Chains A and B, each alone.
Chain A
Amino acid sequence: GQSLEQPSEVTAVEGAIVQINCTYQTSGFYGLSWYQQHDGGAPTFLSYNALDGLEETGRFSSFLSRSDSYGYLLLQELQMKDSASYFCAVQTGANNLFFGTGTRLTVIP
């Protein structure tokens, strides 16, 4: 089976940096993805890591350590609009993407 763990809630100040961690246990592993979901909306794709290391896309960065079964999403220069739920998701096969339960990020002034 698969299991993913991420914090349920995180609060951070506008302009600050926040890191959302994700640990996983899966029977197969192709890569780790991150998605953002605003209340009532659909998830939107942020990043994908198949290899160890850091991927940077603007204010967002994602890191993967396959040996530690661990990854994180780093959000810099937080803005109020970043308040949302963030999901890590493990691709366990060519067509299987399994999601964690999500981290609700609240950005405060």
Chain B
Amino acid sequence: SQTIHQWPATLVQPVGSPLSLECTVEGTSNPNLYWYRQAAGRGLQLLFYSVGIGQISSEVPQNLSASRPQDRQFILSSKKLLLSDSGFYLCAWSVPGTGGGYTFGSGTRLTVV
């Protein structure tokens, strides 16, 4: 069966520090991978998606970047965090060509102080 792992679960980082969040998927090959951010009490905002190794599409220009160094690994990074980067970050995967059924990781709650 397929599983998705995301870590860490919580993170408190000072303004100006770097960020690296990692997501891995098991039990499937060539998944579509996504990074979403959710502000408190709000909907999910699509940040990046990837359809293959090294292929990254950005939906919202911002202080973040994403990379996919391996087929089932997706990394969200920042060189210098801003207070506005605080939020709940969710990684998700889906089977290419299928509709709407994304599987989300357990999320990382990031607080920038």
Q: Which A residues contact B (CB, under 8 angstroms)?
A: 30-33, 41-45, 48, 50, 87, 89, 91, 94-102
Q: Is the CB of B49 within 8 A of A43?
A: no
Residues on B with beta carbons closer than 8 Å to the beta carbon of A96:
46, 49, 59
Chain A contact residues, majority secondary structure: strand
| A95-B51 CB under 8 A given contacts A42-B107, A43-B44, A101-B42 | yes
Number of A-B contacts (CB under 8 A): 61
Q: Is the CB of A42 within 8 A of B104?
A: yes
| A42-B106 CB under 8 A given contacts A30-B99, A31-B99, A95-B51 | yes
Q: Is the CB of A102 within 8 A of B107?
A: no
Tell me which of A42, A97, A100 contacts B105 (CB under 8 A).
A42
Considering the complex of A and B, which 7 residue pairs feature the smallest CB-CB distances, nearest first? Answer: A33-B100, A48-B100, A42-B104, A101-B43, A99-B44, A99-B43, A31-B99
Residues on B with beta carbons closer than 8 Å to the beta carbon of A95:
32, 34, 49, 51, 57
Residues on B with beta carbons closer than 8 Å to the beta carbon of A43:
44, 90, 102, 104
**In the bound complex, CA of A33 to CA of B101 (Å):** 7
What count of chain B residues pass the 8 Å CB interface test? 24
CB distance from B49 to the nearest CB of A (A): 5
**In the bound complex, CA of A48 to CA of B105 (Å):** 19
Chain A proximity mask over B89-101: 1 for CB below 8 Å, otherwise 0: 0100000110111
Knowing that A43-B90, A45-B101 are A-B contacts, what are 13 other residue pairs whose CB atoms are under 8 Å apart, sorted by A's residue number? A30-B100, A33-B100, A41-B106, A41-B107, A42-B106, A43-B104, A44-B104, A45-B103, A48-B100, A95-B51, A95-B57, A96-B49, A99-B45
